[in-house]
Amino acid sequence: MDLQVLKNKYDIIGNDPALNEALETAVKFAPTGLSVLIQGESGVGKESVARIIHQYGPRRQNAFFVVNCGALPKELVNSELFGHVKGSFTGAVENRKGYFEEADGGTLFLDEIAELPLESQALLLRVLQSGEYRKVGSNKVEHTDVRVVAATNVHLYEAVKRGKFREDLYFRLSAAQIRVPALRERKSDIYLLFRKFTSDFSEVNGMCKISLKPDAIRLLEKYRWPGNIRQLQGFTQSLTAQLSQKVTPTLQRIELSAAELLPFMPREEGEPIPILYEGPQAQTSSFPAEERQAIFKAIFDLKQEVDALKARIDRRELPAPPVVPMEEEAEWQGQEDFQASRPIVRVEHHEMPEEEPSLSVRRSEEELIRQALEKYHGNRKKAAEELGMSERTLYRKLPPEYRKK
């Protein structure tokens, strides 16, 4: 099977190996008659894979039905799938066929199958095993010959462990699985899809196509696209509508740089855009020195506040040991001598506790102290005042290169 012919037929864009594997597997499963489980996030194109299985299988001359299980009213799921008889419940004014009866001889694509209630899952399992079902309100056993292709955007086995999905149904469906990769796993395909979407939209509306410079392509590829292909299509169409112009003899295409594209990149609620401009002027560090210092100081202050809160909680749980007056520690005394010569006393102040902080926090503290010392040319007193700690605490936390100065 020529994959490119298949992609052209179903308007599938991309050359990613994981995508190619999913399509090849679909073609292999198609003639077998097996029930198939398609896994992948929302918007990755699971329905297209289901259509390929139907069209390349022995049922291609018969009906292909798409049912979104998540959109079915919970109280009407069984009626929608298996039908009902007149008078079986309030509002059942006549007999009604269900999808399994309508799709007899064809293929039924059950999208979001994890949304089915457990009762409906049991009835679905029976159909898969024997082809038998009963309409709601009827005792008559009906028969159907339907191939089921199911899809889910959740981890089904995790749903099994939580008691939300039947284990026997899971094993029945999972024997033949296809995983469709997320768009962020197909970075090399992102710009191909972008070009396809802007080209289609431009042709319909008589507008110039949008193309991207290399730095803008990198910007596009670094975003994680949680809505996958569906989100990228909507973004591309919106971008083209906002920035493009009517086609003229001298204007056929508009090219954008990263700086021009950045203001239009989608933002997730509560999260920054997970991309970083990497143009020719990009610095070795992601942040200017003053911003790094502010971040380090914020981490340092937060650590102090957390430790103070922990100390306050501990004081409520344990009787406070007696405080023994101590002489001020000499600057030359090391941390081990200091700890050995005095009892451990939990206090509510903003100096760092005696316990060893995590490696990442320690490095942040040392970097903050190093910058303060450089700012005041090694003056420990001024550096300690800048950091809001005592000179003694500063000495205990000096970076290695400053301890012998």
Asked if 137 and 32 sit in the same domain, the reply is yes
Which stretches of 56-117 are DSSP H helices? Answer: 77-82, 99-102
Name the phi and psi angles at 41, rounded to 5: -70, 165
Dihedral (CA of 23, 28, 31, 36) sign: negative
Asked if 91 and 223 sit in the same domain, the reply is no
Number of domains in the chain: 3
381 — pLDDT class (breaks 50, 70, 90): confident
With left for phi above 0 and alpha for psi between -120 and 50, is residue 260 left, alpha or beta?
Answer: alpha
Please indicate, yes or no, if residue 280 is contained in any of the structural domains: no
Residue closest to 112 by CA, chosen among 41, 22, 36, 172: 41
**Which pLDDT score, from 0 to 100, does residue 276 have?**
40
Distance, first Cα to last Cα, the chain: 74
Compute the average pLDDT of residues 179-191. 95
**Which pLDDT score, from 0 to 100, does residue 94 have?**
86
Compute the average pLDDT of residues 202-220. 94
DSSP three-state, residue 374: helix
Residue 302 has pLDDT above 80, yes or no: no
Residue 319 has pLDDT above 50, yes or no: no
d(CA 157, CA 169) in angstroms, rounded, equals 11
More confident of the two residues 372 and 118: 118
Domain C-terminal end among 135, 155, 181? 181
Residues in a beta bridge with 206: none
Please indicate, yes or no, if residue 304 is contained in any of the structural domains: yes
Compute the average pLDDT of residues 129-152. 93
95 — pLDDT class (breaks 50, 70, 90): confident
Asked if 24 and 157 sit in the same domain, the reply is yes
What domain range is 295 assigned to? 289-319+329-402
Task: Copy the structure tokens of residue 165.
Answer: 């999905």
DSSP string of 10-60, one letter each residue: TT-----HHHHHHHHHHHHHGGG---EEEE--TTS-HHHHHHHHHHTSTTT
Asked if 98 and 230 sit in the same domain, the reply is no
Asked if 12 and 106 sit in the same domain, the reply is yes
Asked if 65 and 176 sit in the same domain, the reply is yes
Q: Rounded to 10 degrees, what is the CA torsion of 116, 122, 126, 129?
A: 80
Asked if 199 and 168 sit in the same domain, the reply is no
Domain C-terminal end among 152, 181, 210? 181
Residues in a beta bridge with 150: 37, 110
Mean pLDDT of the chain: 81
Q: How does pLDDT run across 212-232, given as a tens digit for each residue?
A: 999 999 999 999 999 999 999
Please indicate, yes or no, if residue 230 is contained in any of the structural domains: yes
Q: What is the CATH number of the domain that holds 154?
A: 3.40.50.300
Please indicate, yes or no, if residue 282 is contained in any of the structural domains: no
**Which pLDDT score, from 0 to 100, does residue 210 have?**
95
Asked if 206 and 355 sit in the same domain, the reply is no
Asked if 293 and 385 sit in the same domain, the reply is yes
150-164, 290-304, 356-370 — most confident range: 150-164
Q: What is the CATH number of the domain that holds 237?
A: 1.10.8.60
Please indicate, yes or no, if residue 379 is contained in any of the structural domains: yes
Asked if 153 and 227 sit in the same domain, the reply is no
Asked if 93 and 190 sit in the same domain, the reply is no
More confident of the two residues 269 and 338: 269
pTM of the predicted structure, to 2 decimals = 0.65
Please indicate, yes or no, if residue 58 is contained in any of the structural domains: yes
Q: How does pLDDT run across 20-50, given as a tens digit for each residue?
A: 999 999 999 999 989 999 999 999 999 999 9
> Residue 43: how many CB atoms within 10 A of its CB?
19
Asked if 39 and 147 sit in the same domain, the reply is yes
Residues in a beta bridge with 212: 256
Residue closest to 108 by CA, chosen among 97, 117, 99: 99
Task: Copy the structure tokens of residue 318.
Answer: 């344990």
Compute the chain's Rg from CA coordinates: 32
